[in-house]
Amino acid sequence: MLRRSLGLAFLAVWIAAACHGAEPGPVVFGRAEITVEGHGRAHRFSVEVATTPEQRARGLMEREVLPADRGMLFVFPEKRVVSMWMKDTLIPLDMLFLGPGGQVLKIAGMTEPNSTAIISSGVPVHGVLELAGGAVARLGIRDGDRVVHPAFAP
């Protein structure tokens, strides 16, 4: 009886610690291969995919490097105006705000690291693609180009 009571007490303390004040584990992202195409060009990227609120809140924070062929794709369950910021993000990013078909509706280039300035899509979007700062200019990506990924399939 004493052993069972101690076991239940241990379980209760463990559950309480897990629910209140325990440090969360690392955020794990899905991965995908995407293509940005338009104006006769196609550029492939390997991206981490953020679909949950926890993943979207974490994003690329505290990363010191983002290779030129990598990025992060934020996918939202419904079309909405999206606001981003660069707090705790150590590297400049290019943000591509994406419509329902993956169409690039707006680009915020070379965003300022660690800034709390709000970067708004300005219009309802279904996603945001973040690439290493300068990628948009280097590759000639423009409004109207399209991100090919199943989340934006017609």
In this predicted model, what pLDDT tens digit does every residue of 8-35 receive, in sequence order?
Answer: 333 333 333 333 344 456 899 999 999 9
Residue 13 lies in a domain: no
Q: For residue 111, tell me if it sits in a domain.
A: yes
Per-residue pLDDT reduced to its tens digit, 74-128:
999 999 999 999 999 999 999 999 998 999 999 999 999 999 999 999 999 999 9
Residue 8 lies in a domain: no
* Domain carrying residue 78: 27-152
Q: What is the CATH number of the domain that holds 138?
A: 2.60.120.1140
Name the domain count of the chain. 1
Tokens representing residue 103 in the block: 């169409």
**Does residue 82 belong to any structural domain of this protein?**
yes
What's the confidence (pLDDT) of residue 5? 41
| pTM across the whole model | 0.83
Residue in 111, 103, 94, 132 with CA at minimum distance from that of residue 39: 103
Is residue 11 domain-resident? no
The dihedral over CA atoms of 98, 103, 109, 110, expressed in degrees to the nearest 10, equals 60
* Closest-CA residue to 130 (of 45, 33, 53): 45
- Residue 76 to residues 13, 115, 124, 141, Cα–Cα distance (Å): 36, 23, 11, 22
130 within a domain of the structure (yes/no): yes
